[in-house]
Amino acid sequence: QIGATFYFSREALLRALKTGHNQIFLSASKTQAYVFREYIIAFARLVDVDLTGDPIVLGNNGAKLIFLGTNSNTAQSHNGDLYVDEIFWIPNFQVLRKVASGMASQSHLRSTYFSTPSTLAHDAYPFWSGELFNRGRASAAERVEIDVSHNALAGGLLCADGQWRQIVTIEDALKGGCTLFDIEQLKRENSADDFKNLFMCEFVDDKASVFPFEELQRCMVDTLEEWEDYAPFATNPFGSRPVWIGYDPSHRGDSAGCVVLAPPVVAGGKFRILERHQWKGMDFAPQAESIRKLTEKYNVEYIGIDATGLGVGVFQLVRSFYPAARDIRYTPEMKTAMVLKAKDVIRRGCLEYDVSATDITSSFMAIRKTMTSSGRSATYEASRSEEASHADLAWATMHALLNEPLTAGISTPLTSTILEFY
């Protein structure tokens, strides 16, 4: 949120104009890569120059600006300066890095990696910490010790492994002249742990999470390339195909979450999160109206709403235009059923969402197993649920998944053929 993608977009354009080197932008998804493209086009328009095409070719020297997703097969043949963003959210980062680093292996080219932090278990963390450099180097003289604390890297530092590293927190941004944030308000909206992760560049240890990052990364796909039947910018993005909606209300000032889920065509198939929304500071009526608009956009077959406490207001309004809406009443048994269903779907590799939707990943990672206040049974809560956004997108997804029985995944696969006409 401090403008790293914006900054590197302009840096790359200026470098291409001065050097003639190609500039390659590699992101978690092609949609994310196009954010670079939008910034570059907007920058050029300031001097009345319209840049078009994909890749963009500069007229003065023929340098190309190339925008790619994380499909490594598309990245091997290019050559130029490399920019890779959100590396701590990219699945199978080490495989991608081996391929991508070859594009900028010549000495006159450079590679730039930047990201918000995710979890210590992500395979980009050893690359950041220097552990990857030490692998296979048995001699103490060859190994390096890299201090990756904020104190060491706040001003930027060329480290012993030849990599230049820097940490920029929200406080650093404010000191540098960025006046767009109200830190005290952000601290009120987020728990202490979430604030450190989101704004102070601290990594999360997800060992206690019910949904660890290692499992969730299998759900991440480049939807722009892989979902050929979904047109996100169309009036009816999914045609007449049915979708399920899950809604999780806000509690004590956090945000409400809503997801649009495409169910599998056959038993044991994949669920896909087509859209997700977080609504903050909205009353019942505007939230219900937002859900109503989704029913006009999609062929909605099911709506599941947490009607416990504050959610009952939205449920009653939604039921006025969608009478079949299901009210979900939270009990320890209900929460357990929802979590077990989601665990089963994710374990079988039957949930997909866009790799750039890091808020979905963070939401699932926030869920922990705890004991009820009586201490008699187990339940599931988001970490510091009263203070944080209480994993609204994860719960909303589980409300939608609840429409399929827990045993659906073990059904005998159908042998029939499905033919759909468009």
372-383: pLDDT as tens digits: 666 666 777 775
CA–CA gap between residue 194 and residue 345 (Å, rounded)? 26
pLDDT at 414: 47
Cis amide linkage into residue 286, ω under 30° from 0:
no
Taking 90 as the threshold, does the pLDDT of residue 273 lie above it? yes
pLDDT at 5: 94
Return the closest-CA partner of residue 352 out of 233, 245, 271, 242: 271
Domain ranges within the chain, ordered by starting residue: 4-129, 206-410
Rounded to an integer, what distance in angstroms lies between the CA atom of residue 79 and that of residue 98?
14
Q: Which residue has the higher pLDDT, 307 or 422?
A: 307
SS3 413: coil
Q: Do domains 4-129 and 206-410 have the same CATH topology?
A: no
CA–CA separation, 189 and 183 (whole Å): 10
Q: Which CATH class is domain 4-129?
A: alpha beta
Q: Give the Cα separation of 54 and 349 in Å (integer).
A: 33
Residue 19's pLDDT is what? Answer: 95
Residue 162 has pLDDT above 50, yes or no: yes
In this prediction, residue 115 has a pLDDT band, given cuts at 50, 70 and 90, of very high
Q: Which CATH number fits domain 206-410: 3.40.50.12280, 3.20.20.80, 3.50.50.60, 3.30.420.240?
A: 3.30.420.240
Which whole-number Å values give the CA distances from 89 to 114, 137, 223, 366, 400, in the listed order? 11, 27, 15, 16, 25
Average per-residue pLDDT in the chain? 88
* pLDDT score of 10: 96
Kindly report, residue by residue over 385-413, the tens digit of the pLDDT: 333 346 899 999 999 999 988 776 654 44
- Answer yes or no: is pLDDT of 84 > 60: yes
Q: According to the model, what pLDDT value does residue 241 have? A: 96
Comparing 70-84, 134-148, 319-333, 373-387, which segment has the lowest mean pLDDT? 373-387
Q: Per residue in 231-260, pLDDT tens? A: 998 999 999 999 999 999 876 556 889 999
